[in-house]
Amino acid sequence: MTATQIIRTFCLTTTTLLLSLAAHAEPTATNILPERIVFVGGLAHNKGPIASETEDGPDLNIAYHHLFKRFDNSGLYAHGGAVINLADGTSYAYIGGTGRLAFGASPIYGEIGGGFAVHDGDLEKKSENKRELGSRTLFRFEISLGYQISDAVSASLFMDHISNGSILNNDDNRGLDTYGLRLGYGF
């Protein structure tokens, strides 16, 4: 089974499981901000409006969020994680902060965050199959729209972007975009 088939199977199985759980779940707005959350997801690598043809394939995303400030229907989380490319593309680890906003008593929430990433990709163009990223440490931005399925389980559509923003060097750096589906387990 190829890495792409594994990710497709994971996403299909996850979607089926989420729909099954959603049919029986009754989330409460007070539990939409767990103290700690572990995320696991399948992402599409180097896709989006600025993507190039140089890298692609599936990514595995693993992340940990820890609540450090709670407000009425929102919270601020410190986070760390990794995006692991399963097709010999660029992988990276990251740290930063995320804000989560629950939409009233609804189980729907939005997240926006940022921080820094360290990657294992090319700094300068060495191969036609790799993206030039300019510096080892990059800025990172993330955004997601999620649904709190139960007190502990959530699912979200997730997108992140890493880049030096052409700030750290004079070379062209369009960065990397990934997007996909993540499952969260709060405790």
- Euclidean distance between CA atoms 131 and 60, whole angstroms: 18
- Sequential DSSP letters for 40-80: EEEEEET-STT--SS--SEEEEEEEEEEEEE-SSEEEEEEE
Domain ranges of the chain: 3-186
Please name every residue paired with 185 in a beta bridge, in sequence order, or none if there are none: 38, 153
Residue 103 confidence (pLDDT) = 85
Half-sphere exposure of 181 (CA within 13 A, CB side): 16
| pLDDT level of residue 65 (50, 70, 90 thresholds) | very high
pLDDT of residue 8: 61
Give the pTM: 0.82
CATH number of the domain at 3-186, out of 3.40.50.300, 3.40.50.1820, 2.40.160.20, 2.30.110.10?
Answer: 2.40.160.20
Nearest C-alpha neighbor of 154 from the set 18, 1, 9: 18
Which one has a higher pLDDT value, 51 or 67? 67
Task: Give the model confidence (pLDDT) of 115-174 as tens digits.
Answer: 999 999 888 877 777 778 888 999 999 999 999 998 899 999 999 999 887 776 656 666
Report the alpha-carbon distance of residue 138 to residue 115 in Å, rounded: 9
The per-residue pLDDT of the chain, averaged, comes to: 83
8 Å CB contact between 184 and 37: yes
CA-based nearest residue to 98, from 129, 125, 67: 67
Flag the least confident range among 9-13, 45-49, 56-60, 80-84.
Answer: 9-13
